A and B are shown apart, each in its own frame.
Chain A
Amino acid sequence: MLAHNGIIILLTLLLALIATIIPMPLSVDDFRPDWVMVVIAYWCLACPSRVNIVTAWVVGFILDVLLGSVLGVHAASLAISVYIIADNFQKIRNFSIWQQAIIIGLVTVLYHLLVFWIQRFLTDAVFLPSYLYPALTTAILWPWAFLLLRKIRRHFKIK
């Protein structure tokens, strides 16, 4: 994974992790986009031979440690969501950027529902509609993140 400027992939993932835990005012915190999801989805579409479900699982595990949730909750949810993208990467690649944004949004909804279901199973978490707001912002973020990450990938010739 580290060959051919793979360190750049790692750096983008680290930045996404930092963006996930950066403190924000309570009013906009509910709308925090899923940076990790966006970055992993991009690399899964662009370099499926280097970033795959196992990468997503490891990043999800780090997320578990950072967020203090039960170990494995975010890891499993992220792995399942990324599996959908990784299994259909050839189809998703051919969609237009807006269609991709909708797909990423739906996958993010699934991701948050998975996290909620596991939490509900472990502790008596109560569902609030605000748990799904990030899907909206993630879908809006996708086109911009896609263009930026593509620029990075082409600049560093990551294959």
Chain B
Amino acid sequence: MVFMSPIFKHGPSPQHRLLLVLFCSGLLIFFDHHIGSFETSRGYLQSLVSPLQYLATTPKRVMTWAGENLSSRNKLIRENQEHKIKELLLQEQLMKLETLEQENNRLRLLLSSPLRKDTRKMVAEVISVDSDPYTHQIVINRGANDGVYEGQPVIDDKGIVGQIQNVGTISSRVILITDVTHAVPVRISRNGIRLVASGTGQIDRLIHNFVPHSTDIRVGDKLVTSGLGGKYPEGYPISEVLHVNQDETRAFSEIYSQPVAQIDRLRYLLLLWSNDENVSSEKVSVENTSTPTSGGSE
């Protein structure tokens, strides 16, 4: 402690420094939250910190890699067989679906409504899950280099997961449907009634506000995206109604639903491109995907 003299302090006093940084924080919070003027710079910041994120997930990726490479031959053979059987079943369904699609398109042509085109898709992997309890976000390994854009819908094998919030160069941030600041326009697949599914900050719960008591909604109803907001494509499953309380003393009925996507164990995701942007309907571009292992909480 030769160089440092604790009696004579250099520079501004701690009080002044604190005031200065609090002023800066206030400005940042105001501009980021209320005006949203950091939308583009957040992309650059995201690119800047993505090396840190890749570093932080290295131990886990090494473990996963080791786990995948050290699995026994028997296990691989068994898995392979299971996949073959599953593929057969899916192929059968696909054939049925293709005929249905053709038929649907023909009928739509007869009614002169627009045809639904196949959209471009891309597989992405979750690279980190943030530990902040106040926001529900994940980071994926696709960025502007892959053509990812802000507001792009993200799904997993069960249903809607969320949408892209910030795009970095090689990674981007996804806001999940369960985040408190997120809402999706949905409809009940049984009768087509429109609702809005808002996040609650709890990983297994969505809330539906301002639903009148007379609405025909029951526990177990499947909710799918209605495509009305223009962000999400129509018809993807989102949640299942968990709780309906049509108490007349309240202004509106109390409705909760549970997301069908397994928000707490995401690993491989699918990015969807909206129809109008990419008419050249590319098929699923699967790049650098190792064998997906099921389960494993992230």
Contacts and interface: CB of A to CB of B under 8 A. Distances in A.
Interface string B145-169: 0000000000000000000011000
A125 B173 contact: no
A123 to B, nearest CB: 5
B131 A125 contact: no
Given A29-B131, A52-B17, A119-B134, A66 B53 contact: yes
Interface in B235-287: 264
Nearest to B34: A122
Contact of A54 (B17, B31, B132): B17
A76 B181 CA distance: 22
Contacts, number: 134
Given A23-B128, A122-B29, A14 B52 contact: yes
B130 interface: yes
Contact of B25 (A26, A72, A119): A72
Interface stretch (B42-50, B69-77, B117-125, B223-231): B42-50
B52 A49 contact: no
A69 B56 contact: no
B38 interface: yes
A136 interface: no
Contacts of B131: 20-21, 24, 29, 32, 67
Interface string B4-23: 10100110001001101110
A68 B26 CA distance: 17
A53 B14 contact: yes
What band does the interface of chain A fall in when counting residues whose beta carbon is under 8 Å from B? 35 or more
B263 to A, nearest CB: 11
B4 A159 contact: yes
A62 B33 contact: no
B29 A73 contact: yes
Contacts of B6: 48, 90
B80 to A, nearest CB: 29
Interface string A23-50: 1111001001000000000000001110
Contacts of A113: none
Given A22-B59, A65-B49, A70 B33 contact: yes
A80 interface: yes
Interface of B: 1-4, 6, 9-10, 14, 17-18, 20-22, 24-29, 31-33, 38, 42, 45-46, 48-49, 52-53, 55-57, 59-60, 128-135, 137, 165-166, 173, 180-181, 201, 264, 297-298
29 contacts: A17-B52, A19-B56, A22-B56, A26-B264, A29-B131, A49-B3, A53-B17, A53-B21, A66-B130, A67-B135, A68-B135, A68-B137, A68-B166, A68-B173, A71-B29, A71-B32, A71-B38, A72-B24, A72-B25, A73-B29, A76-B22, A79-B18, A79-B21, A80-B18, A86-B14, A118-B29, A122-B29, A123-B134, A159-B2
